[in-house]
A and B are shown apart, each in its own frame.
Chain A
Amino acid sequence: MGEKIGIYICECGPNIANKVYIDKIIEKISSIEAYKNKELVIKNHKLLCSIDGKKFLEEEIKQNEFTHLVIAACSPKDHESTFINICKKTHLNPYLFRIVNIREQCAWIISDRDEATEKAIQYIRGSINRVSYQSPLEEKKLDSNPDVLVIGGGIAGIETALSLASKKRKVYLIEKTSKLGGKSAKFRKLLPRQNCNTDVIQKKLLDVEENNHIQIFKETELEKAIGFFGNFEVILKNVKDNNLKTELRVGAIIVASGFKQLNTSELPKYEYTQDDDVYTSLEIEEMCSQNGKVLLKSGEEPRSIALIHCVGREEKGYCSQICCNYMLKIAQYLEQQSSDIKIKEFYRDLCLPNKDDQFFLENLQNSAIDFIRIKDIEIKGNKIKYIGTDDTKKEIEVDMLILAPAMEAEDGATELAELLNIQLDETGFFQEAHQKLNPIATSTDGIFIVGAARGPSGISESILQAQAVGGEILTQLIPGEKIVPEVKVSEVLEALCKGCQTCLNVCTYGAIYFDEDRGISVVNEAICRGCGNCMGSCPSGAIRSKHFTNPQLYQEMVEALR
């Protein structure tokens, strides 16, 4: 069967009709010698996107049984999808259709009507040429596994597991230590509302342990993961017995590997030994939840305590977001413990970005707590030297120091990132797919990041992020439903590929792998997003970006240069 191309020019009311000579376009295109071997039907319509226009188009396609369709109208951003729907309805493969933008990029910007007509002809000819070179691409549907693997049994991992586990979806929760709960289990009270730990965290821990759809692997780490969204194969290993392995198939992986506090011994301005009464905030939380109070190593109650914010912030280059807030909470513990304790908070800027925080601060400011804004600080044992905002140097001595060290990525983050083919950002935390629009996804589809592994976050932020992952997976990985990947993907032409692997390095999504046996690169169509960067990078022209191939663009270009 020969080609039969339908060409429809939308007048867009006067918008196109009054800016170009539509009859001239039709006349010109009908008379082109090069098209004599094709059957062309060329017509105009007042407004193709109107109800009438759509009906007209539908009938025309059905009646004429076109092999290809070209519509010269507005920008594809406006109505490409409208016409694609008509193609689908009339069983014309939408990849054999092309919309030509003769409104925004022709009629509306070229004031001379003859020139605009010429330009419109040029654009339409380019598209008539191009559609002949287009291939009828088909959507693929892939089976997917709804189960998920959650890495890390802290609050973020627990909440993720709870928001996803159901009759139709199993959750595998792995934790490298022997206990679930992570650091949050050590807290006495939880911000921002001072909830008691047992009410929230301990309850969630129980829920996880009792949930039949959650399988917990303690003392377990990820050893290997391959595959793509909907179809990952993972191998887990026991941290004590590396030969004890478990193989699983899951549809998505959630990294909730948490954080650690900066080791203060790395900081030259913080000099102290194990014998000094200097503690990190986490140590104090633990002390409080175990003993109910803060005591000196001697067992006595401290009379003066300094709380020091922003320890290591300058060195790390970011604010840890939650320290100001929890330091206020610790001050409150101390205040409630005894009114005899003199509390001094040393801070540079108070960062309290939640709506409830300031109320908390104002309450404390009315108490006996001394808030001291500093420019610089140094400690040696329990002695403090600092420079205030008035530039004067001062020295004091206290019974106890409590530090708020910066949060940083957990030790295993680098290895985990490598195993999962995801990125760490310059702060060492896992990097988001898009900081704003896709903040809990990674550049690899189907792998998500939550909680403090993603960046400094407190318990409530981690819980929210875990629920957010729930939202992404519940709407993308639906039990029993297939996954439809991008159609306009890249493909490697085996005969031309010489195996240099340049394309592997440029692909943001890790969609290309190297087939050792055949010595060529292969595109995983389930991952590829179709940007075409690999094609731009290929030195031997072995990659074809479907629907944007060189022969296709060449056809447009030839007309541009006629």
Chain B
Amino acid sequence: MSKSNSVLVIGAGITGMKASLMLSNAGKKVYLIEKLPLIGGNIIKNEECFPNLECSTCMVAPIQQDILQNQNVEVMTLSTVEKVEGEVGNFTVTINKKARYVSLIDCIGCGMCYDPCPVVLKNEWEENLAEKKAIYVPCPGSLPNVPTIDPESCLQLSGKQNCSACVEACDFGAIDFSEKDEKIKVYVGAIIVATGFDLFDATYLPNFGYGKYPGVYTAMEFERLFASNGPTSGELILRDGVKTPESIAIIHCVGRKDQGYCSAVCCMCSFKYAHFLNQKIPDAKVYNIYSDICVPDKSYQKFFENVKRESTELVFQPSTDKIKVTKNGSGLDIKYLNGKGMEETISANMVILSLAMIPGKETSHLSKVLGINKDTKGFFLTQNRNIGSVETTKSGIFVAGCAEGPKDVQNSIIQAEASVSKVINCLE
């Protein structure tokens, strides 16, 4: 049986997009599937990337556009893998494609349907810091620039009420309530898993006060709060309405001990936040509370040194699990044990938790569907006999980016490139 010339890429973050474009360049047909309604992944949530502070949108938008305009790449959003049969060269993949209820062909992205929609929801893509309607795009500039309808909240689709406000507002007849979820079968020769990461659930560690005190933010919440295309257009307005915090404590390594590994990028992220804060609120006092500084790239230490000099006070404490965030009047107290084992306190009105990167929620399910193994940490396992490998435990299935373990953008891209090399060689 001849080998299929098609490839399935799971996850349309920076890793999956890079791999898809490369494969397309080599004449492969690519099915790029993404569970969210938009492509781009986590990187587009950042205003700027460390250490060079490039604007993420400027960096990634041309890639997103290339993906959507590429004739060899078939993008399926709101899609997940349901079943995989066969072997290297000839996999049959069943994809569960959820209805978007808005036609990708007919919709031109004018956005006239949002306002009339009567349902207001929390926008989880914006880390619940903003609202959305039941028909929505996750953020301005989302690609594809076509909204989707949340069927559970939409009055019409959930059967709560006969509402067609969006249909009436749409001049293009692009909205179709009758659209159904689909099962699509594709035949591919190889699969690249690029499902990315999630962040550690901060509510799991009550000592950091997340969810209890409005001044405590997760790293991703801060990214969105800071983003010029985010919920506050980049203005630092805290949840309780306090504008411009005067002192901010950034706590490193939250969840590291529980997860059992260092997430490699959080130190740099934390220093980037200090830099951001210093740029926006030059008078603010910014603390970085750390246990070990991990800046493992030739270009990272310089950024760290600059931030240390200009934007932050470093506070060393050896045991992150002993840190306690408590309320103090309208502010917060952060209690920790210093290098001599003595308790000290820092007061701040904002706390940012640099959370561990953890395997994406779907990893367990996907590993079963694909028939590949996970490692002890829950990430996808690469073959033991090779080091520096992107090969999973099943021939023809490769893993790249943070689905394999925490890493920065360049190392994700390197794995994308490496997996493409393996795919092409295995389909020869």
Partner of A50, one of B26, B105, B410: B105
User: Do the beta carbons of A319 and B418 come within 8 Å of each other?
Assistant: no
Name which residue of chain B comes closest to A80, CB basis: B69
Partner of A163, one of B109, B405, B421: B421
Name which residue of chain A comes closest to B424, CB basis: A474
Complex Cα distance A464/B411, Å? 9
User: Do the beta carbons of B384 and A355 come within 8 Å of each other?
Assistant: no
Interface string of A438-470 (1 = CB under 8 A from B): 111000000000000001100111111101111
Residue B36 at the A interface, CB < 8 A?
Answer: no
User: Do the beta carbons of A49 and B108 come within 8 Å of each other?
Assistant: yes
User: Do the beta carbons of B339 and A389 come within 8 Å of each other?
Assistant: yes
User: Do the beta carbons of B22 and A193 come within 8 Å of each other?
Assistant: no
In the complex, what residues of B have CB within 8 A of residue A23's CB?
none
Interface string of A328-371 (1 = CB under 8 A from B): 00000000000000000000011111111111001000000000
CB distance from A78 to the nearest CB of B (A): 8
Most A CB within 10 A of own CB, among B292, B390, B417: B417
User: Do the beta carbons of A390 and B339 come within 8 Å of each other?
Assistant: yes
Interface string of B334-363 (1 = CB under 8 A from A): 000001100000000000000000000000
User: Do the beta carbons of A474 and B339 come within 8 Å of each other?
Assistant: no
User: Do the beta carbons of B424 and A475 come within 8 Å of each other?
Assistant: yes
Complex Cα distance A47/B59, Å? 30
Stretch at the interface among A12-20, A89-97, A503-511, A526-534: A12-20
Partner of A436, one of B22, B413, B421, B422: B413
In the complex, what residues of A have CB within 8 A of residue B63's CB?
437
Residue A382 at the B interface, CB < 8 A?
Answer: no
| B window 109-130: CB within 8 A of A | 109-110, 112
CB distance from B23 to the nearest CB of A (A): 7
In the complex, what residues of A have CB within 8 A of residue B110's CB?
12-15
In the complex, what residues of A have CB within 8 A of residue B414's CB?
439-440, 464-465, 468
Name which residue of chain B comes closest to A407, CB basis: B298
Interface string of A297-315 (1 = CB under 8 A from B): 0000000000000000100
User: Do the beta carbons of B261 and A14 come within 8 Å of each other?
Assistant: no
Residue A181 at the B interface, CB < 8 A?
Answer: no
Interface string of A409-439 (1 = CB under 8 A from B): 0000000000000000111010010011111
CB distance from B168 to the nearest CB of A (A): 13
Residue B241 at the A interface, CB < 8 A?
Answer: no
Partner of B300, one of A13, A319, A438, A476: A319
Partner of B388, one of A318, A319, A462, A471: A462
Category for how many chain B residues contact A = 35 or more
Residue B171 at the A interface, CB < 8 A?
Answer: yes
Interface string of A466-510 (1 = CB under 8 A from B): 011111101110100000000000000000000000000000000
A467 with B421, Cβ < 8 A, contacts A319-B295, A319-B300, A354-B264 known: yes
Partner of A467, one of B112, B300, B417: B417
Residue B178 at the A interface, CB < 8 A?
Answer: no
Residue B199 at the A interface, CB < 8 A?
Answer: no
Complex Cα distance A433/B246, Å? 39
Category for how many chain A residues contact B = 35 or more
User: Do the beta carbons of A319 and B301 come within 8 Å of each other?
Assistant: yes
Name which residue of chain A comes closest to B257, CB basis: A358
Complex Cα distance A163/B418, Å? 10
Residue A109 at the B interface, CB < 8 A?
Answer: no
| A window 151-207: CB within 8 A of B | 159, 163, 166, 190-193, 195, 199-200
User: Do the beta carbons of A471 and B419 come within 8 Å of each other?
Assistant: yes
User: Do the beta carbons of B108 and A471 come within 8 Å of each other?
Assistant: no
User: Do the beta carbons of A425 and B298 come within 8 Å of each other?
Assistant: yes
Residue A81 at the B interface, CB < 8 A?
Answer: yes
Complex Cα distance A468/B405, Å? 17
Complex Cα distance A456/B301, Å? 13
Residue A51 at the B interface, CB < 8 A?
Answer: yes
User: Do the beta carbons of B417 and A456 come within 8 Å of each other?
Assistant: no
User: Do the beta carbons of B385 and A199 come within 8 Å of each other?
Assistant: yes
User: Do the beta carbons of A357 and B262 come within 8 Å of each other?
Assistant: yes
Residue A317 at the B interface, CB < 8 A?
Answer: yes
Name which residue of chain A comes closest to B378, CB basis: A355
User: Do the beta carbons of B293 and A437 come within 8 Å of each other?
Assistant: no
Interface string of A1-33 (1 = CB under 8 A from B): 000000000001111000000000000000000
In the complex, what residues of B have CB within 8 A of residue A192's CB?
387
User: Do the beta carbons of B52 and A435 come within 8 Å of each other?
Assistant: yes
In the complex, what residues of B have CB within 8 A of residue A349's CB?
292-294
CB distance from A306 to the nearest CB of B (A): 20
A436 with B54, Cβ < 8 A, contacts A13-B110, A355-B375, A463-B389 known: yes
Most A CB within 10 A of own CB, among B54, B299, B305: B299
User: Do the beta carbons of B410 and A469 come within 8 Å of each other?
Assistant: no
CB distance from B169 to the nearest CB of A (A): 10
Complex Cα distance A459/B296, Å? 15
A461 with B23, Cβ < 8 A, contacts A318-B299, A471-B419 known: no
Interface string of B403-428 (1 = CB under 8 A from A): 00111111101111111111011001
Name which residue of chain A comes closest to B60, CB basis: A437
User: Do the beta carbons of A467 and B422 come within 8 Å of each other?
Assistant: yes
User: Do the beta carbons of B301 and A351 come within 8 Å of each other?
Assistant: no
Complex Cα distance A286/B57, Å? 48
In the complex, what residues of B have CB within 8 A of residue A163's CB?
421, 425
Residue B330 at the A interface, CB < 8 A?
Answer: no
In the complex, what residues of B have CB within 8 A of residue A462's CB?
388
Residue A537 at the B interface, CB < 8 A?
Answer: no
Interface string of B151-194 (1 = CB under 8 A from A): 00000000000000000000110000000000000000000000
In the complex, what residues of B have CB within 8 A of residue A440's CB?
414, 417
Residue B91 at the A interface, CB < 8 A?
Answer: no
User: Do the beta carbons of A455 and B339 come within 8 Å of each other?
Assistant: no
User: Do the beta carbons of A318 and B26 come within 8 Å of each other?
Assistant: no
Residue B42 at the A interface, CB < 8 A?
Answer: no
Partner of B390, one of A166, A350, A464: A464
Complex Cα distance A543/B260, Å? 58
Interfacial residues, chain B to chain A (CB-CB below 8 A): 18, 22-23, 25-27, 49, 52, 54, 59, 61, 63, 65, 69, 105-106, 108-110, 112, 145, 171-172, 256, 260-262, 264, 292-302, 305, 316, 318, 339-340, 375-377, 379, 384-390, 405-411, 413-422, 424-425, 428
* New A-B contacts (9) at CB < 8 Å, excluding given A77-B65, A437-B409, A469-B421: A166-B428, A319-B296, A319-B300, A321-B296, A355-B405, A389-B318, A460-B389, A464-B415, A471-B22
- A-B pairs with beta carbons under 8 Å apart, 21 shown: A77-B65, A195-B385, A317-B301, A318-B302, A319-B295, A321-B296, A351-B294, A351-B296, A353-B406, A355-B261, A355-B375, A355-B406, A362-B260, A389-B340, A435-B299, A455-B297, A467-B390, A468-B416, A468-B418, A468-B421, A469-B421
